Structure 1
Amino acid sequence: MTRFRTALAALVPLLLLPPAALAAASAWVATPGGDVRLVALPADASGRVRAMLDIRLHDGWKTYWRDPGGAGIPPALTATGARLEAVRFPVPKRLGDAELHYVGYDAPVALPLTLTDVSGPVTLSVFLGVCKEICIPVQAELGVDPRQEAFANPLEETAIAAAEAKLPPAAAEDLAPLSGRWSADGKTLTVRFRAPEGGGPPEVYVSGPDDIQFGPAGAARRDGEAYVADVPVLYRPKAFDAAAGPVLLAVRIGTRTMEAPLAIE
């Protein structure tokens, strides 16, 4: 089972795009639905490189979150010349209609990255789905060389800091995951979380290791001092291996967001 087999049947042929020139920021690579580039800063004292994948969507186009549901294509990123330690995502939106809904972004978005063990020029291989009336899988090779820059470009540093500022913070006292529980048939994960009242209905998004796929969550309901939401499980191996990675709960309520690991009972 692949996480995006449902979407592939409707996709037009792949766009294979050439690598951009090596620099601290790659050139924009143009696609029909949006443009992409890689931006990287010089390594810090520990050897880590702050970077971002910049996705400049065109009007009306959309792209997907890391777990978009059964009708979407999750981004796939791999790096050569460095280790891609982390890819982080802002809290997404629920998109589509009642019959075909998915989770993603309908405006330009930047995904902050962390690179380590930089051994030479870095190439980021990117596979994204971008959709309007049709969905187009886009593949691009984006090249940078953080070693060529002794000092950070202020514009690039500001852009990466702005992308990082849009990431959801960790749990707070009044906005935090409480627990998750699989249904007896394994087809639903019921999540409980704490959130303040008065900010409107919470939006709930759940993601896990690559071998688990969730659908868009149902509406959150109040249960005592907590909120509860049921999340469809589209695919899960028979045995849940917690060591494979955490299940993450992301919540938006009003202007606030949060993302944190969910303890599974």
Structure 2
Amino acid sequence: MYSGCPDKSRSGAWVRWVAAASALVLAATAEARELKICADPNNLPFSNERGEGFENKIVELVARELDAKVTYVWWAQRRGFIRNTLKAGLCDVVPGTPTDLEMLRTTAPYYRSSYVFVTRWDEPDIASFDDPRLRQLRIGVQLIGDDGANPPPVEALGRRGIVGHLKGYPVYGDYSLPNPPARIIEAVARGEIDVAIVWGPLAGYFAERQTVPLRTTLVSPAHDGPSPSMAFDISMGVRRGEDALRGEIETALAKRRTEIDAILSTYGVPRLTIERRAQR
């Protein structure tokens, strides 16, 4: 029979339930913000699904500044990558994109790198497309896209008529294997080619992981006449119109500048001075 006095055991349980529910609500509120990242799950040194790439590490720094939780939409970086991910609304941020990529709204760049020559230490150092030895050497070049489009180094070689000893290595490679872009660096280490001309972050990372010592040398000059530049500023990109998010990310990148530089150094990314340009 109800005596008119509260049941202390039930009252205590109710208080505990309310406290636990409140804690859950507060926790959910604190974790409500997500930073949805478009990234490749098999693309070291940039990213992989285990979070081992340098872009994974930089994204985590940005997320902490934004008090956000990182979630990934994994998609192989093939033709249509941005259309099928960011523009489709599946995610909100693309790290590691060229600053001048017109289909995105990009932040100020957080690093600038260049193509490099990769040789074995027991082979002559090559730094310029005008080095006459290139006409005799077996040269590995990267081919971009499913159609094997020519990157800037191939255009520079073609203008000089250096075409007889080229071997192409698709950037995408065999995606069923780990680290498909590494094949061109491995070919230098095995002596299958004499020199490779490779995008700097790829070269710096994989050259250090070969069983024989390799040398990486920045292409000089970075601007080779009418050929496209060999060097690029790299930013993070968001959808056009999302200026508030872009501004937040840009501020976070600036605040974490020292830590970002340390990450890039750890991964062997060769860097040039960022070209300061007016925002588009």
Range of TM-score over shorter length: under 0.3
Question: Which has more strand, going by share of residues?
Answer: 1
Question: Which has more helix, going by share of residues?
Answer: 2
Q: Of the two structures, which has the highest relative contact order with CA contacts closer than 8 Å and spacing of 6 or more? A: 2
TM-score (norm 2): 0.21
